Amino acid sequence: MWRGTPRAVIERFLPHLPTAMRSPVLRDLTRRLVLSSAEMPARDPRSEVNPERSLIAARISLLQSMGAFKDARELNNLMPQRSQDSRLLQLKAEDRLYANDYGNACQIVDNAGEHLAKPYWQRLLVFCQTLRGDTEGAELGASLLAESLEATDSAFFLLIDRLTQNTADPLLSLPKPNALHLATMRAAQVTIPDDAISAHNPAVLRTIGISPNARLETRLAAAEMAVEFGALSTERLAEIYMAEKFDPVELNNALSLAAADRSPRGRALLFQAAQIESVNMAKATVFSKAFEIATEENGYLRTIELYRPLLAKLTSAPAINWFAGEAARALHAVDRPLLARPWMEILRLAAEQDEEYKTTSDGLWYLRYLTDSTIPKDDFSTDLTSWLTYHKSKSGARAQSRMAAGLMLLKALGHEIPDDAWWQVLETPRAPVESGGDTIFRIAMSRATDAGRIGEAILMLLLSFGEAGPTIDDIDTVSTAVRVLRQLGLETEAKKLVLEVAATGGL
């Protein structure tokens, strides 16, 4: 996988892979790249990177930061038990702290040996002393740390004082908490500051999302972002949503209240209303409002996954024809074409009476084509023309960019695009184009792919998107990435990437 790539390139770029990624496809590629057992190139003795295990530590750290704790733990456990590498031991300790397993975290510090001279291990030792009731030892250790020039962590010392001296000084702000901060706050029963979620660290967000010592509003916001970044399941988010308390008046007015309150609490209210609503028409109305808000708030795919179990139980019927297009779009967006077929049948029957339903069906063709293998391929040109016509009439100022993006992605997937389709795009009024992506990384991934350097190509592909992820506004990078994935034999991943962009970009 890494044949032909200098180790120095891997050491330079792999630690900088993004960890807070909204794209499931890119998260999966990152995880597979980092977990790969492929042999690494030999180290250049002239390399400036000194730690012998710098790459394995970087890989474990990446997984842990992504909230992929199980993967990080398994990779760390592969290292020989005799390993006393300070960074690997620290990652093991942090894993235990994130899991609220303070006993094993403290056992690691007990065996830290010569590493105890380093500030991190001294902090962890002080924390463990407080848990064991060694108040005197903890106070002495904290005072010695406070005198150190390297000790600038005022939040930690405030929390230790809370544990050892029962002080009542509040912790009002902590924008970049780490695993030890979160553990100390929980032990001291200190409320996690609201700004702790601002760092967008998936591991931290996941921990806050399930922490009893955070305000419920903070937990809701953290849990939503953790789901967005793949560190928490939608099932767990549903549980957190259901823990919020609403009175009957709020639940009866969920639609108007959620429309006005675009906060996590507003979304929790809407979700609870969907859970308790028994009438199909009313339930569909709640779903529709949730999908509308999610689209406007850039959380569409997360919301569809959250509501998918409820949507799957909603019986399709002519009485809710108006919702058929939204339901079909949502289910195709998360690659559930079988569940979408009854809704498509409703659209087909309704289209015989009302041309508007035919138009809605035309607009859904792109997502259906990407997900439903039963769609006739012989009708590709005709269906593509109908889809373009839909966007010309419905997409307003963004019509040309959406049409062009759709054609570019289909071409990247290997489809032959008729000239008539491109001419239709040219006839559409042009809106200002937003550029995005990093041209250098785009060139780098193409060069690595052409040379057969698989690992390097995926590494550069991930870096080219950064944490912003693939969007329709950066169609050049997306198209290049799709071609690269196909060239590397990753056809499924290429198609999933196109589906993500199509679903979130309004295609």
Q: What's the pLDDT score for residue 204? A: 96
Measured CA to CA, the distance from residue 484 to residue 220 in angstroms comes to 38
pLDDT of residue 386 exceeding 60, the answer is yes
Q: What's the pLDDT score for residue 151? A: 56
170 and 97 in a common domain: yes
Residue 361 lies in a domain: no
Q: What's the pLDDT score for residue 490? A: 95
- Residue 145: which pLDDT band, with cuts at 50, 70 and 90? confident
Mean pLDDT of 194-207: 93
Residue 149 lies in a domain: yes
- Residue 193: which pLDDT band, with cuts at 50, 70 and 90? very high
Q: What's the pLDDT score for residue 325? A: 94
Residue 35 lies in a domain: no
109 and 206 in a common domain: no
Q: What percent of the chain has pLDDT over 90?
A: 58
181 and 96 in a common domain: yes
Measured CA to CA, the distance from residue 461 to residue 444 in angstroms comes to 8
Which position has the higher pLDDT, 418 or 330?
330
Q: Of 190, 223, 245, which residue is a domain's last?
A: 190
DSSP summary character for residue 470: -
**Sign (positive/negative) of CA torsion 167, 172, 176, 182?**
positive
pLDDT tens per residue, range 39-60: 888 876 666 554 445 788 899 9
Residue 46 lies in a domain: no
pLDDT of residue 435 exceeding 70, the answer is no
Residue 89 lies in a domain: yes
Mean pLDDT of 387-401: 85
Collapsed DSSP state (helix, strand, coil) of residue 68: coil
Q: What's the pLDDT score for residue 466? A: 85
For the whole model, what pTM was predicted? 0.87
Measured CA to CA, the distance from residue 507 to residue 500 in angstroms comes to 10
Give me the numbers of helices (H) and strands (E) for the chain, helices first please: 29, 0
167 and 107 in a common domain: yes
Q: Of 156, 190, 224, which residue is a domain's last?
A: 190
- Residue 431: which pLDDT band, with cuts at 50, 70 and 90? low
Q: What's the pLDDT score for residue 154? A: 85
Q: What's the pLDDT score for residue 228? A: 93
Q: What's the pLDDT score for residue 323? A: 94
pLDDT tens per residue, range 156-173: 889 988 888 888 888 899
165 and 208 in a common domain: no
Tell me how many domains the chain contains.
2
> Is the Cβ–Cβ distance between 69 and 204 less than 8 Å?
no
Q: Of 134, 157, 190, which residue is a domain's last?
A: 190
The torsion angles phi and psi of 25, rounded to 5 degrees, stand at: -65, -45
pLDDT of residue 438 exceeding 70, the answer is no
Structure tokens at 281: 């028409």
Residue 200 lies in a domain: yes
- Residue 497: which pLDDT band, with cuts at 50, 70 and 90? very high
Task: Tell me how far the alpha carbon of residue 109 is from its chain's centroid.
Answer: 32
Residue 455 lies in a domain: no
pLDDT tens per residue, range 296-313: 988 999 999 999 999 999
Collapsed DSSP state (helix, strand, coil) of residue 449: helix
Mean pLDDT of 377-400: 87
Residue 439 lies in a domain: no
Q: What's the pLDDT score for residue 47? A: 60
172 and 217 in a common domain: no
216 and 163 in a common domain: no
> Is the Cβ–Cβ distance between 274 and 287 less than 8 Å?
yes
Q: Which residue range(s) make up the domain with 199?
A: 192-232
pLDDT tens per residue, range 102-138: 999 999 888 877 777 788 888 999 899 999 888 888 8
155 and 92 in a common domain: yes
Measured CA to CA, the distance from residue 415 to residue 491 in angstroms comes to 13
140 and 120 in a common domain: yes
198 and 124 in a common domain: no
124 and 182 in a common domain: yes
The vertex-136 CA angle with 131 and 137, nearest 5°, equals 70
Give Dmax over CA atoms of the chain in angstroms: 82
Q: What's the pLDDT score for residue 134? A: 87
pLDDT of residue 353 exceeding 80, the answer is yes
pLDDT of residue 501 exceeding 80, the answer is yes
Q: Burial, 149: exposed, middle or buried (Cβ in 10 Å; 0-12, 13-18, 19+)?
A: exposed
pLDDT tens per residue, range 209-263: 999 999 988 999 999 999 999 999 999 999 999 988 999 999 999 999 999 988 9
pLDDT tens per residue, range 248-284: 999 999 999 999 988 999 999 999 999 998 889 999 9
- Residue 439: which pLDDT band, with cuts at 50, 70 and 90? confident
151 and 222 in a common domain: no
